[in-house]
Chains A and B, each alone.
Chain A
């Protein structure tokens, strides 16, 4: 499954919400990193133009016609999954602006990474996408699978196929992990009009998925995240992803607090879950995660905006030169 990582529509910097670029022909070939790099069009000045253009853009106007179809990801070109335009948000309590006009476009099957310094707004961005009550959206729009995401409650966003793995998942004493997963899974089934699974049926279902994240069954009887090590918490997040599935998985610093082995396990699990139909948005500080989960696009966030977009070479450049080298 890991080869699917390289699925990507190569409409390059158009990821920054440019309808003009979306109209150019694209294809759904199996691209390697090098081919991606060769067709990147990273340019800040262009991005600004695109921002203006994007105001009139709309998801339905996007027509992707594959010019070649060496590998077809299931009849038809990748669909637009998420389109974020000029998103601004403040901390609800203090009204302090954090996001100052974020633009991002994600298509099915793509892996994106958002990198940035502490305080650049990247974690806020992920929380705003899933509707965290600590933040208030003050402008811009977010369209997810053709629907206005900002109109939805957090649980509706989840049921619509958006998943965020929390940076520091909270412990819930008194709620066992299996009950929690069962509740969440049944919410999905209810939404699909399927009968809910009782505890025994669910145990059957879940125990088969535990190996994805290399966890023991006693993990299920423990309370949600209570007394979990950093690594266990992250594994638990990915287990939830494995159980619930998602069209877009936002992994907020999934690598923080993990040793190399745990990181490898978690990354392997994520890679195993990737299909041509779903996408990943990683939020990270470090290049090392990107060695395991290969991004099609890397975005640099600074002061509440995405200031640069490139392919994975951007992350390498970042590793060498730091953020100064990038923004200069």
Chain B
């Protein structure tokens, strides 16, 4: 794959006929001469998808879009994989419970240029986290708001097109777009990403302070119009043998209550070498009418550790596709998620942890509160052990709290276990706050009034996840954000 012939100049998607593609790439299915439109599951040439792909394509030919061989490779493979994908409907297993039609009904416009006026970024600069940090607006790094000076010298953080080290470039090229199981949105990001931000941690390097990413969207449509600006930020994290880093990923809007419409279609890829460790905090607080679709793909080599803490409360639709692939034995994986719906919104986590080597440990905790009659949480949690994954220790726990009649949660916990000699457990409960009787009684028995006690338990429900955030200042910020959202309900 590394030969130069795989890096043609920015790939256009000129005709998008099956024929033109099948001739260029044998992998693409050639057996679909039929018109697919009448069959929803048909695997290519969804005209709507082609339309988005073409506008994304066009946006990438603009000057501002970064060019580099691995980006070209990414755009090309993504274009090809896109051909077999159509816009998801409720008939697709992975979108059974999740309605993406409001995106489809909109006029999607890729954000073309990096934000040039800093006046509309004042909000962002007022909230500088602990350094080092990167501000990414519409997929572009904003250098004036970013600060990466405190990182160790041999760590690379920056645009994929600015990599000067041949060694790093080779490694990045190897990993970019390595993942074959992405859906339509994965591919759209691959085509539309104007840049890819690369974090490279060389072997044995421990980055002490967490690296913070803050993602913003500069353009938005209002609720009445169908104008939907779309951005495709992409980040690649590469941690070599024995390396360690903490990543904080915040998807923000100046004001979560603001009725801004935009679509952020984000991707993060994380590759952890032998014995490496990545702690990943992912905070989704997008504007109330935003669509946030996000992929996290993680590959873990032997004895590596990946810890993810996700807190999602923003957007009209938040969809997180998490795929963790074990490629060596003795890995440790911890995934903790808290989803909160206080409006008519959907929070969706589709996670797949795939274990194919011995002695892996994986723990997944999913918690959610749905506090609105039109709120919905979807959790499809797949832990898959194939036969070589002997002596795996896997558990998964899901707890949902529904506070309003009509509030919905669709939970599909799924442990697929092929090998013997493994320890696996899972559980899922759905309840109202009253069912926390024993805890409530304990508080009452100490003289705390019912209202205060309930409130404490309500806040505590998510705190079980938020307290796993490794960075204390972030934890406080997130906790107070959640309390602010829950205050009217408590």
- Of B437, B446, B461, which contacts A184 at CB under 8 A? B446
Count, A-B residue pairs, CB within 8 A: 77
- Of A154, A188, A224, which contacts B444 at CB under 8 A? A154
The answer to whether A187 and B452 have CB atoms under 8 Å apart is yes
In the complex, the chain A residue whose C-beta lies closest to that of B438 is A170
Q: Complex Cα distance A157/B460, Å?
A: 25
Which of the segments A95-103, A172-180, A281-289, A291-299 contacts the partner chain? A172-180
Enumerate chain A residues within 8 angstroms of B488, measured Cβ to Cβ. none
In the complex, the chain B residue whose C-beta lies closest to that of A226 is B464
Q: Complex Cα distance A130/B438, Å?
A: 13
Enumerate chain A residues within 8 angstroms of B438, measured Cβ to Cβ. 170
Q: Complex Cα distance A240/B463, Å?
A: 23
Q: Complex Cα distance A19/B463, Å?
A: 53
What 0/1 pattern do residues 453 to 490 of B give for CB contact below 8 A with A? 10011011111100100000000000000000000000
Enumerate chain A residues within 8 angstroms of B462, measured Cβ to Cβ. 174
A158 with B446, Cβ < 8 A, contacts A170-B439, A172-B439, A183-B452 known:
yes
A191 within 8 A of B: yes
* B93 nearest CB across to chain A (Å): 33
The answer to whether B457 and A159 have CB atoms under 8 Å apart is no
Number of A positions contacting B (CB below 8 A):
29
* B427 nearest CB across to chain A (Å): 15
Enumerate chain B residues within 8 angstroms of A191, measured Cβ to Cβ. 447
B449 within 8 A of A: yes
A174 with B464, Cβ < 8 A, contacts A132-B441, A154-B441, A166-B442 known:
yes
The answer to whether A173 and B446 have CB atoms under 8 Å apart is no
The answer to whether B448 and A133 have CB atoms under 8 Å apart is no
Q: Complex Cα distance A157/B449, Å?
A: 11
The answer to whether B457 and A175 have CB atoms under 8 Å apart is yes
* B448 nearest CB across to chain A (Å): 5
Q: Complex Cα distance A154/B440, Å?
A: 11
The answer to whether A174 and B445 have CB atoms under 8 Å apart is no
B450 within 8 A of A: yes
* B226 nearest CB across to chain A (Å): 41
A319 within 8 A of B: no
- Of A164, A172, A184, which contacts B457 at CB under 8 A? A172
A187 with B437, Cβ < 8 A, contacts A173-B460, A175-B456 known:
no
In the complex, the chain B residue whose C-beta lies closest to that of A156 is B447
The answer to whether A183 and B442 have CB atoms under 8 Å apart is no
What 0/1 pattern do residues 162 to 197 of A give for CB contact below 8 A with B? 001010011011110001100110011001000000
Enumerate chain A residues within 8 angstroms of B456, measured Cβ to Cβ. 175, 179-180, 183
A153 within 8 A of B: yes
Q: Complex Cα distance A159/B447, Å?
A: 5
Q: Complex Cα distance A44/B467, Å?
A: 57
A158 with B444, Cβ < 8 A, contacts A170-B438, A174-B464 known:
yes
A151 within 8 A of B: no
A240 with B446, Cβ < 8 A, contacts A132-B441, A170-B438, A183-B452 known:
yes
A244 within 8 A of B: yes
Enumerate chain A residues within 8 angstroms of B447, measured Cβ to Cβ. 155, 158-159, 184, 187-188, 191, 244
Q: Complex Cα distance A191/B449, Å?
A: 11
Enumerate chain A residues within 8 angstroms of B459, measured Cβ to Cβ. 174-175
In the complex, the chain A residue whose C-beta lies closest to that of B466 is A174
Q: Complex Cα distance A217/B203, Å?
A: 39
- Of B444, B446, B449, B463, which contacts A174 at CB under 8 A? B463
Enumerate chain A residues within 8 angstroms of B155, measured Cβ to Cβ. none
* A149 nearest CB across to chain B (Å): 13
A154 with B452, Cβ < 8 A, contacts A170-B439, A174-B462, A174-B464 known:
no
A133 with B461, Cβ < 8 A, contacts A187-B447, A187-B449, A191-B447 known:
no
The answer to whether A172 and B460 have CB atoms under 8 Å apart is yes
In the complex, the chain B residue whose C-beta lies closest to that of A132 is B441
The answer to whether B445 and A164 have CB atoms under 8 Å apart is yes
Enumerate chain B residues within 8 angstroms of A244, measured Cβ to Cβ. 446-447
The answer to whether A175 and B463 have CB atoms under 8 Å apart is yes
* A11 nearest CB across to chain B (Å): 30
What 0/1 pattern do residues 23 to 34 of A give for CB contact below 8 A with B? 000000000000
Enumerate chain A residues within 8 angstroms of B467, measured Cβ to Cβ. 174, 223
* A191 nearest CB across to chain B (Å): 7
Enumerate chain A residues within 8 angstroms of B461, measured Cβ to Cβ. 174
Enumerate chain A residues within 8 angstroms of B176, measured Cβ to Cβ. none
B424 within 8 A of A: no
- Of B437, B450, B463, B464, which contacts A155 at CB under 8 A? B450
Q: Complex Cα distance A172/B445, Å?
A: 14
The answer to whether B437 and A173 have CB atoms under 8 Å apart is no
Q: Complex Cα distance A244/B452, Å?
A: 17
* A297 nearest CB across to chain B (Å): 25
The answer to whether B445 and A130 have CB atoms under 8 Å apart is yes
The answer to whether A187 and B442 have CB atoms under 8 Å apart is no
In the complex, the chain A residue whose C-beta lies closest to that of B462 is A174
B121 within 8 A of A: no
B443 within 8 A of A: yes
The answer to whether B460 and A153 have CB atoms under 8 Å apart is no
The answer to whether B439 and A155 have CB atoms under 8 Å apart is no
The answer to whether A180 and B443 have CB atoms under 8 Å apart is yes
Q: Complex Cα distance A252/B445, Å?
A: 14
* B326 nearest CB across to chain A (Å): 28
Enumerate chain B residues within 8 angstroms of A180, measured Cβ to Cβ. 443, 446, 456
In the complex, the chain B residue whose C-beta lies closest to that of A173 is B464
Enumerate chain A residues within 8 angstroms of B448, measured Cβ to Cβ. 155, 183-184, 187
Enumerate chain A residues within 8 angstroms of B442, measured Cβ to Cβ. 166, 169-170, 172, 224
Q: Which of A154, A159, A170, A224 has the most CB of B within 10 A?
A: A154
* B336 nearest CB across to chain A (Å): 12
Q: Complex Cα distance A180/B438, Å?
A: 15
The answer to whether A155 and B460 have CB atoms under 8 Å apart is no
* A217 nearest CB across to chain B (Å): 17
Q: Complex Cα distance A175/B436, Å?
A: 14
Q: Complex Cα distance A240/B460, Å?
A: 20
Q: Complex Cα distance A188/B444, Å?
A: 12
Enumerate chain B residues within 8 angstroms of A131, measured Cβ to Cβ. 445
Query: Beyond the given A154-B444, A175-B456, A184-B448, could you list 7 further A-B residue pairs with CB under 8 A, ordered by the A residue number?
Result: A155-B448, A158-B444, A170-B439, A174-B464, A179-B456, A183-B453, A188-B447
The 3 closest A-B pairs by CB, nearest first: A174-B460, A174-B463, A158-B447
Return 16 A-B CB contacts under 8 Å, by A number: A130-B445, A133-B437, A153-B444, A154-B444, A154-B445, A155-B448, A155-B450, A157-B445, A169-B442, A180-B446, A183-B448, A183-B452, A184-B447, A187-B446, A187-B447, A244-B447
